[in-house]
């Protein structure tokens, strides 16, 4: 089965799952951590415009963050940072960030984040303690100018997860390779932002955080 068909089956399963949880309630994280959980501090979503060779002047969005391992043991850090607009556009953070983009952000924050690392360098084992904290960025290309709100999802910060049965899967009838029996949801940080309605001047748009309280969800 080609990737487009697999994606269609997966999306259909997610839609069915979402519809089924309207009445039974979507799983929520434990009110207290039940597995390892990293400390995560971040600057709100920002916009930057950079001249990239061969591509011209490009707009990007980024978040600067510090991640610290106070779990009592070394853990593997594999950040999964995604932006989802209210127009249903989904963008995953770039791993291969252009040198011109990283350099411009690095220079802008050299006084406050002198040890800022490229996103590709922080993936892997995160040692314990404040002295081993890592500063890095998540970067996305510009998104749908019609979007009026956007949500930042940050995964890879906690070990808590839950397997939710896929209502579309029928034992003995469904092919597990095409219709997954379960969906694995992981504890994920969700941060919502509002965007001004000015689509004509995207280069000056500023995202406004809707709440200062952090929200954890299962995603």
183/27 Cα distance (integer angstroms): 12
E strand intervals along 15-55: 39-42, 46-52
Which pLDDT score is estimated for 26?
78
Question: Tens digit of pLDDT for each residue in 43-70?
Answer: 999 999 999 999 999 999 999 999 999 9
126/135 Cα distance (integer angstroms): 12
Report whether pLDDT(8) > 50.
no
**Under 8 Å between Cβ of 60 and 39:** no
165/4 Cα distance (integer angstroms): 23
Which pLDDT score is estimated for 14?
45
* Number of structural domains found in the chain: 1
Beta pairing partners, 21: none
159/33 Cα distance (integer angstroms): 9
67/44 Cα distance (integer angstroms): 15
Report whether pLDDT(203) > 80.
no
Domain range for 105: 3-218
- Percent of all residues in the chain with a pLDDT value above 90, rounded to a whole number: 78
pTM score of the predicted model: 0.84
Report whether pLDDT(3) > 90.
no
Question: Tens digit of pLDDT for each residue in 91-128?
Answer: 999 999 999 999 999 999 999 999 999 999 999 999 99
149/216 Cα distance (integer angstroms): 18
Largest CA distance in the chain: 61
* Phi, psi at 119, each rounded to 5°: -55, -35
**If you average pLDDT over residues 18-44, what whole number do you get?**
79
* Phi, psi at 19, each rounded to 5°: -65, -35
Q: How confident is the model at residue 133 (pLDDT cuts 50, 70, 90)?
A: very high
Calculate the average pLDDT of the chain: 88
40/60 Cα distance (integer angstroms): 22
Residue 149 C-beta-side C-alpha neighbours within 13 Å: 9
Name the one residue in this structure whose structure tokens are 């998540």.
138
Selection from 163, 159, 156, 144 nearest residue 202 by Cα: 144
DSSP state of 95: S
């Amino acid at each position: 089965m080609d990737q487009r068909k697999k994606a269609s089956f997966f999306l259909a399963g997610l839609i069915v799952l979402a519809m089924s949880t309207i009445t039974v309630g979507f799983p929520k994280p434990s009110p207290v951590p039940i597995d390892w959980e990293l400390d995560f501090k971040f600057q709100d979503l920002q916009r930057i415009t950079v001249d990239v060779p061969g591509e011209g002047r490009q707009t990007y969005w980024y978040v600067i963050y510090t991640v610290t391992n106070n779990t009592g043991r070394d853990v593997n850090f594999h950040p999964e940072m995604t932006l989802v607009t209210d127009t249903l556009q989904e963008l995953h953070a770039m791993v291969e960030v252009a040198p011109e983009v990283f350099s411009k952000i690095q220079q802008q924050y050299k006084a406050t984040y002198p040890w800022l690392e490229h996103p590709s360098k922080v993936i892997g084992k995160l040692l314990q303690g404040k002295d081993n904290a890592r500063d890095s960025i998540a970067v996305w290309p510009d998104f749908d100018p019609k979007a009026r709100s956007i949500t930042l999802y940050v995964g890879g910060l906690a070990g808590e997860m839950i397997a939710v049965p896929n209502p579309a899967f029928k034992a003995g009838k469904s092919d597990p390779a095409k219709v997954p029996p379960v969906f694995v949801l992981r504890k994920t940080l969700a941060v919502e932002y509002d965007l001004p309605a000015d689509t004509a001047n995207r280069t000056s748009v500023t995202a406004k955080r809707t709440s200062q309280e952090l929200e954890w969800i299962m995603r």
